Structure 1
Amino acid sequence: MESITKNRQPPEVLRAMTERAYGAGRIPAGDGWVSELGHGWFNVAYRIRLRDGAEVVLKIAPPPAVEVMTYERGAMSVELAVLDLLRTRTTVPVPAVDFADRSRELCDADYFFMPYIDADNLAVIAETLPTAERAALMEQLGAANREINSIRGPHFGPLAGPGHAGWRQAFTAMTEDVLADGERRGVDIGWDYHTVRAAVAEHAGSLDEVTEPRLVEWDLWNGNVMVRDGRIVCIIDHERAFYGDPLIEAGFAGTQLAAFGDPAPFMRGYGHGRLTGTEQTRRRLYCLHLLLIMVIETVYRGHTDTGQYDWARSRLDEAMALLGRTRR
């Protein structure tokens, strides 16, 4: 996926970064030692073959001159923190971090190296799998997501703060950040921004049912799941995590909007039954928040293809209808 947030670097800089991480003796030699991994939507990632044949991945944060959405600021620091949490406090398979550099000496942004995962991206192969195998993988994902959510946080909101004592305050602040981002860039979301704010405020009482902050990935879609031989072998891309309500996880989105797919296998693996009325209201708010981001980020990322924008605009109308707002 093309995006102006991808901070591509020339080969000589990539070599210098690799030498700093692994030493002069492992600097890549010859041709064909680097290739860009194309599935990401935000950071650039390179697959690099070291001189001894080992393969690693280099992930580089966006350049500082490119404006990102408010919630995306400092995303690489969030990812490194979450990787440490998951490695030390769960059995969920995540990449090791070989080396991280925040000095900005070799390039203009943070970066880190991790081992290359020799596996298939679930988003790429999902439609080629037999239905039963695909469902089994989604059950595994549900179980893994539940284990991630078992980590209790010190507050609601961003990992590094500012924290909130209540989930209502944290979520409404997160949503306001998204709306303010859209207004700042004049993004046409198809609705008056004040109407969206009113819909959130009308249903915000449902958020008070959440009293304990949990680590949530939020961005755990198929594209961040690596599989091999019918098993999940790694979960990648953890930069959007925060402390909040586990029901905001991507696997629950389909409970309210069919466009996000059948949630049943994920929910079986997670061990979550049918949503209560209050849970449905919360999940509808979370769908609205997600779709606002999907619409607004297309402007921040400089998309020239309108496919995501058009799709998300239509789904945003559906989410607003679920919250009692329809066009006149």
Structure 2
Amino acid sequence: MKTAVRSHPIHRSTPGRIAIAAAVIGLSFAVASPALADDSNDRQTRFPETITLPNDAVAGDLGFRPEGIVVKGNTAYAGSLVDGTIVTANLRTGQTAPLVAADGDPAVGLKIAGPLLLVAGGPSGELRAYDHRSGKEVAVRHIPEAGFVNDLTVAGDTAYFTDSQRAVIYALPVDGDTVGEPREIPLGGDFALAPPGSFNGNGIAVFDEDTLILGQSADPDGSGSALYLVDVSNGEATRITITGGDVTAADGLLLQGRTLYVVQNRENSIAQFRLSSDGTEARFVRTLTDPDFDVPTTIDFGPRGDLYAVNARFGTPGTDSVAYEIVRVQR
């Protein structure tokens, strides 16, 4: 039986400017011993498969409307597209708590770097840093020319942010709780912007210390989505050859070794690929879906290797009666 937890009410945040508006893999586990059965039951009992995010944490009545998620230990962090509110969720119990009060601008992608919770600010052009324990603001950097700062990843002492409307990546130095000044890395090589109105650079992951993997939601030739290797020293992008399948509606990326997960938001699925040793080829392995998916956007690894996604529910009119959830997916 799938378990769901609804959070206790928390106080509504100070109003701010309102901005932008698999099946758990069908694995049938053959129980070989009572120990395996007990472990499965324990997972179901203590780690709910859905956690409802608190609509009353955000200003107005548009609902929580999450986009980004990051997990540290048994705690997930989720941010609101409505006003930048960030809450934590205990993945063991399903209980939520406020962390960052609304500032009026969206919270899109999230990542943790040491003591910091880093946040992509969408159309605000902001790169934000908070203490991930207290929620205290540490730094805000602003990109005046930014289009839509969407997602990010962290490699060593640098966080890399994507922009879905410009052919650039932003590099932000991060050392402990010290945040430097951002610089632009123009994208070249195989990367080209899709027609106006399209979403471009979106999900991003670290391939190695010198190279990132970048997802483009809509590729220029109109064939779906695209993946690239990006040299961080000069922004040179090499398109990754996809075999055995394709990618559409690409959103968040997650990499473990040579296994790449690509969230396909409007497909309500996660595509799993196996990368070649040099990263230039991605072989389709399988699709993960879940009956609880409703336009998932980003994912992270959680306890026991499960994946955790957030349902953005794009296309659903936002109200405080709509349930926005974190969904656990067993691999």
Q: Give the structure-1-normalised TM-score.
A: 0.28
Structure showing the higher helix proportion among its residues: 1
Structure showing the higher strand proportion among its residues: 2
Larger Cα Rg: Structure 1 or Structure 2? 1
> Which one has more relative contact order, counting CA pairs under 8 Å at least 6 apart?
1
Q: Give the structure-2-normalised TM-score.
A: 0.28
